[in-house]
Structure 1
């Protein structure tokens, strides 16, 4: 087997590995359709290595050569469709299919042109450049944001340009006088070496985009309470410091469902879950933009209101209380009402957040002791600090 034949075999195996990788990733990715198109892209394009070997050893060579061209080009058009799914772009598959057929017909028409000339090499390589250029353009139009997305655009553009360079390399290095001569030519060794590098690079970059999305999704899932749909305590802690760094004042609202144990005892855990779910939906709908809403305990919730003073936070808490006290809960009898109590604290200018949370918690207990279904304002931070000093 020649050096080019060996590289053809290596490229086939690499492409098959990437096909399996993308199929595996599709099981976890939210872009599973894109991942499957990428798997198909590598599977179809890898068939060209089989056809190239058939060109050399199984006459007549013309149908195998055209199939080799069509398989690579078909894989590239599948890549374009996958890019569209990855970035939420519509792909006109009828138009893509028409362009694909036109390029295959072009390859058929130029087959008998003298090889090793620009008259043959440029029309042969340009369809590949156009197909990958379409993918690069699609990724660019998708308003990419991350470094990996931008790197993918650059890589696709460079890969597209490299096919134009290959046309001139075919003339300079010599690709043989017939399709059968290609596999033993110097150009075949150069071409397959470059293809091996590009297969690995493009495949790894696409996998990187998909895997990073999976990691981001897993991070979000780890920080979100599945029952209420709000942040959990970890998600709240991971985000609140950035908001605290902004210009104040900031306020905290602690909320607790009243008589929650009796809801569970009377209506079962499904009834309790329904109450938590309804309260979470209410907080999500009512929370102003930029606020953090979290479920921090069984029936306890917290809101962090950036750039919000005490008076505005109190008005917000009163509105929440009034809404909850009169709203029915889906899944519970229509006459059942689950009220809630609230403690509100404005974070002091230099006060640690945990101190403000402690004051809000004290205010919440005061609301509970006052008969529940009410709002209480926390003591000012100066008074709480003074009490701490005295007890120490």
Structure 2
């Protein structure tokens, strides 16, 4: 087997590996449709290596040469469809299919032209450059902001341009007088070497985009409470320091659903879940921009209001209390109301967050002990800090 034939075999195996990788990633990715199109892209494009080997050994060579062209081009157009799914872009599949058919007809027409001439080489290589250029333009038009997305645009553009370069290389290096002579030419070795590098680069970049999305989704899932839709305690802790770094004052609002055990006992856990879900939706809708809302316990919620004084936080808590007191809960009888109690604390200038949360928690318990369905303000931080110092 020639060096070019060996590289064709290697490229085929690499493409098949990427096909399997994308199928595996599709099981976890939110862009599973895109991942499956990418898998199909590599599977179909890899067939060109098989057909190019058949050109040299099995007649008629024209059939295998056109099938090699069509399979590679079809895989590249499938890449464009996958890019569209990846970035949520509208894709005209009929338009791509029409362009694909026109290019295959063009390859059939130019097959008998003298090989090794620039017109023939350009007419053969340009369809691949156009198809990859469409993918690069689509990814660019998506205005993706991450480094990996921008790198993908550059890589697709470079891969597109390399097909035009290959046309000139075919003339300079010589691609053989017939399709059968291709594998023995210097150009075949150069072409397949470049192809192997770019196949690996594009495949790895696409996998990187999908895997990074999976990692980001897993991080979000680990930090979000699925029932209320709010952050969980881990998500709150991971974000609070950045908000606390801003100019103060900051305030905390600690919330707790009243008589929650009675709701569970009367209406079952589904009723309790409905109450938590409704309160979470209310917090999400009411929380101002930049606020941090989390469910930190069974029926306990925490809200950090950056750049907010205790007076504004108290008004906000009273509005939440009034809204919850009169709002029905989907899934429970229309006459049922689940009220809530609130403790509000403004975080002191140099006060640790845990001390402010302790004060807000004390205020919440005061609200519980004075009849529930009310708002209580926490003790000033100086008083609490003085008590802590004395205790130590």
TM-score, normalised with respect to structure 1: 0.98
CA–CA distance in structure 2, aligned partners of residues 299 and 282 of structure 1: 14
Stretches of structure 2 that go unaligned for 5 or more consecutive residues are none
Deviations 1:194-235, CA, capped at 9 Å, x for gaps: 111111111011001000000100000000111111100000
**Where do 1:85-100 residues align within 5 Å?**
85-100=85-100
Q: Does 1:58 align with 2:58?
A: yes
Residue 206 (structure 1) aligns with: 206
Give the equivalent residue in structure 2 for 1:342: 342
- CA distance in 2 between counterparts of 1:55 and 1:391 reads 89
The CA deviation string for residues 62-116 of structure 1, in whole angstroms up to 9 with x for no partner, is: 1111111111111111001100110111011111111111111111111111111
Matches within 5 A, 1:134-283: 134-283=134-283
CA offset at residue 318 of structure 1?
0.4
Provide the rounded CA distance (Å) in 1 between the counterparts of 2:257 and 2:295: 11
Taking the aligned partners of 1:60 and 1:279, their CA distance within structure 2 comes to 72
Q: Deviations over 1:152-207 (max 9, x none)?
A: 11111111111111111111111000011101111111111111111111101100
* Alpha-carbon separation, structure 2, partners of 1:167 and 1:115: 11
Work out the CA distance in 2 between the residues paired with 1:221 and 1:24: 20
- Whole-angstrom distance in 2 between the partners of 1:18 and 1:140: 23
Name stretches of at least 5 consecutive residues in structure 1 with no aligned partner. Answer: none
1:12 equivalenced with 2:26 (yes/no): no
Q: Secondary structure at the match of 1:308?
A: coil
Partner of residue 120, structure 1:
120
Is the partner of 2:256 in helix, strand or coil?
strand
Residue 353 of structure 1 corresponds to: 353
CA contact (8 A) 1:77 1:131 kept: yes
CA-based RMSD: 0.9
Provide the C-alpha distance between the structure 2 equivalents of 1:307 and 1:142, rounded to a whole number of angstroms: 35
1:233–1:296: 8 Å Cα contact kept in structure 2?
Answer: yes
User: Which moved further from structure 2: 324-333 or 25-34?
Assistant: 324-333
Equivalence for 2:363 = 363
CA-CA distance at 1:240 after TM superposition: 0.8
SS in 2 for 1:331: coil
- SS at structure 2 position matched to 1:4: helix
The answer to whether the 8 A contact 1:12-1:49 is kept is yes
For residue 322 of structure 2, what is the aligned residue in structure 1? 322
8 Å Cα contact 1:116/1:175 also seen in 2: yes
Q: Distance in 2 between matches of 1:124 and 1:78?
A: 19
Deviation at 1:31, TM superposition (A): 0.3
Q: Could you tell me how far 1:330 is from its partner in structure 2?
A: 1.4
Give the TM-score normalised by structure 2: 0.98
Classify the secondary structure of the residue corresponding to 2:337.
coil
Q: Distance in 2 between matches of 1:306 and 1:86?
A: 36
* Map of 2:382 onto structure 1: 382
Q: What residue is the counterpart of 2:304 in the other structure?
A: 304
Deviation per CA, 1:19-58, whole angstroms, max 9, x where unpaired? 1111111111000110011011001101101110111111
Give how far 1:122 is off: 0.9
Counterpart CA distance in 2 for 1:283 and 1:33 is 34
Aligned partners of 1:272, 1:307: CA distance in 2, in Å? 33
Local SS of the residue matching 1:9: helix
Alignment of 1:38-117 (within 5 A): 38-117=38-117
